[in-house]
Amino acid sequence: MKNTPIIAIGCLLLSTSWSHAQAGQDRGGGRGIVCRDSNNKIKSISLLDYFEAQNAMSLTIDLGPQNSYQEKLQFVLNRLEQTDQVFAKKIKSEVSDFMQSTTFVEDVDLEVVNDSTSSVKPPKGCSEEQMGVNKVNPLPFQKNYLIRRSLWESADASTKAGLILHEVIYRYARKIGEATSDHARYYNALISSSNMKNLSTAQYTQALQQIGWLKGIGYTDGGCSSDFSVFVNAVPYFLGCDLTVYNDHSVYRGAPVGPQVFQSPIGPLKVGDHQFVGFNPSNILVVGSLASETILPLGAQMISLPAGTSFFFNENGRIKQVQLGGGLHLSLSHASGNKVVSLDKYDILYVCGDGDLSLSESNCDRR
């Protein structure tokens, strides 16, 4: 099957067809800064992600005023939804299944996973301890996550919520080959901060670009089930991994989230929500589906085309064919003169070189 280049991640939504770790050997997980007294009793726990944010970044951690970790998760993801709706919904889905996908480990320590290159160290009397472990490809009878119960029960609601977010985000990140948790910790801290309230789409996009989550190119043998979003020039796209090509500057193919207006060879055109679009190397729209009834030039005629009609431009900036999104009555040229025909949804109209319209591409070729 033909290899199709795809963007590995857009706003972190990843292709689940990738496997960068062997089953059962794909450990990663969250750590806490645990402070203990002289009797080894826990005095406090801070998630490493948030400890770094507070001590090495200009981020203010804010998971809302609610008391339970469930409410704090909801607060963070509702806030993220204002900037990245698609990924927020994906995380919500994973979070809702977290407890069913988790084993709480009793009376034992979790193996330390060396997947962090943190630049900050715990204060005196405190140390980094493994709070959770996740598996990208669990073996039969294994669950996705292991959580150390003693640390979980000693953690406050914010730390519990942050740990769940860390595990879910990092599990996604590792599916595209992230070797450390550094970027997952950064992203977790970012979306868990009050800074998100005033973060523009462009700033959010820039942050993802800088950690490499908007430029990974990969290959898949055919289609895959995951879809994801990406921001380009502040426009959110919904990108199916079986048809998308993406580089640092432009979307070549994809589908916009919500109706969007793009510049086409004949001026601005509004395309429909989650409908396929394509661009030329100059970022000019050349393939799309109309969001609403629109008058377009087809050869020598100006024709009102129904919503949902797909259009295709040629290299000269002229529409070469359309696939109708609804019924249409149209006058077509025949050898014996013009004839009014009734067209149905999905019928294709070809624009011949002489400007006439035809229902057959071969008829155009014979002219």
Average confidence (pLDDT) over 62-75: 95
Strand-strand pairing, 42-47 and 132-135: unpaired
CA–CA distance, 215 with 146 (Å, rounded to integer): 31
Position 17 scores a pLDDT of 29
The pLDDT value given to residue 262: 87
pLDDT band at 367 (very low <50, low <70, confident <90, very high): low
Q: Per the domain annotation, does 222 fall within a domain?
A: no
Which range is least confidently modeled, 134-138, 249-253, 344-348?
249-253
- Residue 244 confidence (pLDDT): 45
Q: Is 246 domain-assigned?
A: no
pLDDT band at 280 (very low <50, low <70, confident <90, very high): confident
DSSP string, 261-329: EEEETTEEEEE-TT--EEE-TTS-EEEEEBSS-EEEEETTEEEEEPTT-EEEE-TTSSEEEEE-SS-EE
Is there a domain that residue 300 lies in?
yes
Contact (Cβ atoms closer than 8 angstroms) between residue 238 and residue 84: no
Q: Show which of 210, 238, 269 is a domain's final residue.
A: 210
Clarify whether residues 128 and 206 are in a common domain: yes
- Region 203-209 average pLDDT: 78
My answer on whether 151 and 51 are in the same domain is: yes
What does the pLDDT look like over 144-197, one tens digit per residue? 898 999 999 999 999 999 999 999 998 878 776 778 889 999 999 999 999 999
pLDDT of residue 334: 60
Sequence-distant (6+) residues with CB within 8 A of 134 are: 27, 28, 29, 144, 145, 146, 167, 170, 171, 174
The reply to whether the predicted model has a pTM over 0.85 is no
Is residue 15's pLDDT more than 80? no
Q: How far apart are CA 53 and CA 181, in angstroms?
A: 14
User: What domain range includes position 137?
Assistant: 16-210
Cα 22 from Cα 188, distance rounded (Å)? 26
pLDDT at 110: 75
- Residue 216: inside a domain: no
Rounded CA gap, 270 and 47, in Å? 45
Strand-pairing partners, residue 328, are 343
How many domains does one find in the chain?
Answer: 2
Are 204 and 289 contained in the same domain? no
Residues 58 and 183 in one domain: yes
Question: Residue 307: inside a domain, yes or no?
Answer: yes
Neighbours of 9 (CB within 10 A): 27
**Quick one: average pLDDT of 332-348?**
76
1-8: average pLDDT? 29
Residue 70 lies in a domain: yes
**First and final C-alpha spacing in the chain:** 37
Residue 249: inside a domain: no
Residues 182 and 305 in one domain: no
